[in-house]
Amino acid sequence: MKAVKKVGLQTVAFSNPPVIVAAACIAGPKEGEGPLKDSFDKVLEDMYYGEKTWEKAEQKIFRETMELALQKAHLKTDDIDFMLAGDLTNQIIAANFTARSLAIPFIGLYGACSTMYEGLALGSMLIDGGFARYVLVGVSSHYATAERQFRFPTEQGVQRAMSAQWTVTGSGAVVLGAQGQGPRITHATVGKVMDFGEGDAGDMGAAMAPAAADTLLQHFQDTGRCPGDYGLIATGDLGKYGRQLVVKLAEQKAVALSDSYTDCGVLIFDESQDTHAGGSGCACSAVVTCGHILDQMKQGKIKRFLGIGTGALLSPCSCLQGESIPGIGHAVVIEAG
**CATH number, domain at 58?**
3.40.47.40
Structure confidence at residue 99 (pLDDT): 98
Last residue of a domain, one of 177, 203, 237: 177
Structure confidence at residue 163 (pLDDT): 63
Last residue of a domain, one of 111, 145, 177: 177
Q: Are residues 46 and 119 in the same domain?
A: yes
Confidence class for position 153, pLDDT limits 50, 70, 90: low
Please give the full DSSP string across 22-71, using - where no structure is assigned: EEEEEE-TTGGGSTTGGG-SEE-SSSSTTSSSHHHHHHHHHHHHHHHHHH
Mean pLDDT of 53-58: 96
Mean pLDDT of 22-51: 97
Is-contact 302 337, C-beta < 8 A? Answer: no
Q: Is the pLDDT of residue 235 over 60?
A: yes
Q: Is the pLDDT of residue 64 over 70?
A: yes
Determine, yes or no, domain membership for 300. Answer: yes
Determine the 3-state secondary structure of 184 from DSSP. strand
Domain of residue 144 covers 6-177
How far apart, in whole angstroms, are the C-alpha atoms of residue 290 and residue 225? 25
Calculated CA dihedral for residues 186, 267, 311, 204, nearest 10 degrees: 150
Nearest one of 88, 236, 238 to 148, comparing CA atoms: 88
Q: Are residues 89 and 110 in the same domain?
A: yes
User: Picking from 11-15, 21-25, 323-327, which range would have the lowest pLDDT averaged per residue?
Assistant: 323-327
pLDDT in tens, 76-93: 999 999 999 999 999 999
Measured in whole angstroms, the distance separating CA 5 from the mean position of its chain's CA atoms is 24
Q: Are residues 168 and 213 in the same domain?
A: no
How far apart, in whole angstroms, are the C-alpha atoms of residue 94 and residue 169? 13
Provide the mean pLDDT of the chain: 93
Determine, yes or no, domain membership for 279. Answer: yes
User: Structure pTM?
Assistant: 0.95
Structure confidence at residue 275 (pLDDT): 86
Q: Beta strand pairing status for 82-86 and 106-108?
A: parallel
* Consecutive H or E run containing 171: strand 170-177
Q: Are residues 99 and 219 in the same domain?
A: no
Counting residues of the chain whose pLDDT is more than 90, the rounded percentage is 82
Last residue of a domain, one of 128, 155, 177: 177
How far apart, in whole angstroms, are the C-alpha atoms of residue 258 and residue 89? 35
Counting residues of the chain whose pLDDT is more than 70, the rounded percentage is 95
Q: Are residues 190 and 145 in the same domain?
A: no
Highest mean pLDDT among 17-31, 202-216, 250-264: 17-31
Q: Are residues 232 and 303 in the same domain?
A: yes
Structure confidence at residue 155 (pLDDT): 60
How far apart, in whole angstroms, are the C-alpha atoms of residue 208 and residue 312? 6
- Total structural domains in the chain? 2
Measured over the CA atoms of residue 113, residue 212, residue 262 and residue 304, the dihedral's sign is negative
Structure confidence at residue 316 (pLDDT): 78
Measured over the CA atoms of residue 16, residue 189, residue 325 and residue 254, the dihedral's sign is negative
pLDDT in tens, 269-309: 998 998 877 899 999 999 999 999 999 999 999 999 999 99
Mean pLDDT of 62-84: 98
List 233's β-bridge partners, or say none: 261, 306
Q: Are residues 21 and 50 in the same domain?
A: yes
Q: Which amino acid is at 294?
A: L
Q: Are residues 155 and 275 in the same domain?
A: no
Structure confidence at residue 193 (pLDDT): 98
How far apart, in whole angstroms, are the C-alpha atoms of residue 181 and residue 49? 34
Of residues 1 and 195, more confidently modeled = 195
Structure confidence at residue 160 (pLDDT): 66
How far apart, in whole angstroms, are the C-alpha atoms of residue 306 and residue 219? 10
Q: Is the pLDDT of residue 158 over 70?
A: no
Determine, yes or no, domain membership for 157. Answer: yes
What lies within 8 Å, CB to CB, of 93 at 6+ separation is: 55, 59, 87
Q: Are residues 147 and 288 in the same domain?
A: no
Q: Are residues 194 and 170 in the same domain?
A: no
How far apart, in whole angstroms, are the C-alpha atoms of residue 285 and residue 279? 9
How far apart, in whole angstroms, are the C-alpha atoms of residue 227 and residue 213? 12
Determine, yes or no, domain membership for 85. Answer: yes
Structure confidence at residue 149 (pLDDT): 66
Task: Using the CB atoms, write b or e for 123-158: b if 16+ within 10 Å.
Answer: bbbbbbeeebebbbbbbbbbbbbbbbebbeeeeeee
Of residues 66 and 274, more confidently modeled = 66
Structure confidence at residue 259 (pLDDT): 83
Mean pLDDT of 33-60: 96
Q: Is the pLDDT of residue 311 over 90?
A: yes
Determine, yes or no, domain membership for 1. Answer: no
Q: Are residues 215 and 197 in the same domain?
A: yes
Q: Is the pLDDT of residue 162 over 90?
A: no
Q: Is the pLDDT of residue 56 over 90?
A: yes
Q: Are residues 98 and 35 in the same domain?
A: yes
Mean pLDDT of 250-278: 92
